[in-house]
Amino acid sequence: MLLVIPNAFANGTGEANIIDAPKMNANFDQVETVLNGNVEKDNIKPGSAIALLDTHLHISANWQFDSNPTFNAGGIADAALTANIPKKDAANIFSALQKFSAGVDMDLQQALKFLAEKVASLPTWDISYKGRILYNNGDNKFYGANDSTWVDLGYVGGYTGGAVRSYSGTGIADDGDQFKFWFKTEGASPVVKITIKGEPFPKRFYTELAYHTHVFTGTNHNHAITDPTHRHSVVLGSHGHGSTQYAISTHTHGVSGNTGGRTLSHCHWGVVVGSSATDDFGPDTHTHTVSITSGSASASQAIPSENLGTTYSAYVATGITVDNAIAAGTNAYAGINAGTLSSVQKLYGKSLTIKIDGTNVTSNVLSATGWAVIGDGTDSHAFQTTGSGEMTASAWKTYTAGFHTLEIIEPESGYGCSLLVHIETS
Give 350's strand partners.
Answer: 376
**Are both 349 and 419 inside the same structural domain?**
yes
**Are both 325 and 414 inside the same structural domain?**
no
pLDDT digits over 324-364, tens only? 666 555 556 655 555 445 556 889 999 999 999 999 999 99
In a domain, 359, yes or no: yes
In a domain, 171, yes or no: yes
pLDDT digits over 180-189, tens only? 999 998 877 8
pLDDT at 158: 59
**Are both 129 and 194 inside the same structural domain?**
no
In a domain, 381, yes or no: yes
pLDDT at 263 over 90: no
**Are both 6 and 58 inside the same structural domain?**
yes
Number of domains into which the chain is organized: 4
**How far is residue 151's CA from residue 277's CA, in Å, rounded to a whole number?**
164
pLDDT digits over 79-113, tens only? 666 665 666 666 777 777 888 888 888 889 898 88
pLDDT at 276 over 80: no
DSSP single-letter state for residue 123? P
Cβ pair 222, 321 in contact under 8 A = yes
pLDDT at 225: 74
In a domain, 20, yes or no: yes
**Residue that wins the pLDDT comparison between 241 and 107:** 107
Query: What value does the mean pLDDT take over residues 298-304?
Result: 58
Q: How far is CA 347 from CA 174, 181, 205, 343, 418, in A?
A: 10, 21, 11, 13, 9
**Are both 213 and 331 inside the same structural domain?**
yes
pTM for the structure as a whole: 0.40
Cβ pair 172, 416 in contact under 8 A = yes
Residue that terminates a domain, selected from 316, 339, 362: 339
Cβ pair 413, 176 in contact under 8 A = yes
**Residue 30: domain span:** 1-69
pLDDT at 416 over 60: yes
**Are both 30 and 56 inside the same structural domain?**
yes
Cβ pair 185, 423 in contact under 8 A = no
pLDDT at 216 over 90: no
Return mean pLDDT, the chain. 75
**Are both 21 and 2 inside the same structural domain?**
yes
Q: Which of 107-121, 172-186, 288-302, 381-395 has the lowest mean pLDDT?
A: 288-302
pLDDT at 255 over 90: no
pLDDT at 202 over 80: yes
Q: Give the highest mean pLDDT range of 38-47, 249-258, 357-366.
A: 357-366
In a domain, 288, yes or no: no
pLDDT at 398 over 70: yes
In a domain, 245, yes or no: no
Secondary structure (DSSP) of 135-191: EETTTTEEEEE-SSSEEE-S--SS--SS--EEEEEEEEEETT-EEEEEEEE-SSS--
What pLDDT band is residue 51 in, cutting at 50, 70 and 90?
low
**Are both 212 and 331 inside the same structural domain?**
yes
In a domain, 253, yes or no: no
Q: Which of 4-8, 367-371, 404-408 has the lowest mean pLDDT?
A: 4-8
pLDDT at 238: 65
CATH number of the domain that residue 189 is part of: 2.60.120.380
pLDDT at 126: 93
**Are both 314 and 227 inside the same structural domain?**
yes
Percent pLDDT > 90 in the chain is 28
**Are both 140 and 46 inside the same structural domain?**
no
Query: What value does the mean pLDDT take over residues 214-221?
Result: 69
**Are both 355 and 418 inside the same structural domain?**
yes
**Are both 346 and 416 inside the same structural domain?**
yes
Query: What value does the mean pLDDT take over residues 177-198?
Result: 90
In a domain, 94, yes or no: no
**How far is residue 410's CA from residue 173's CA, in Å, rounded to a whole number?**
6
pLDDT at 280 over 50: no
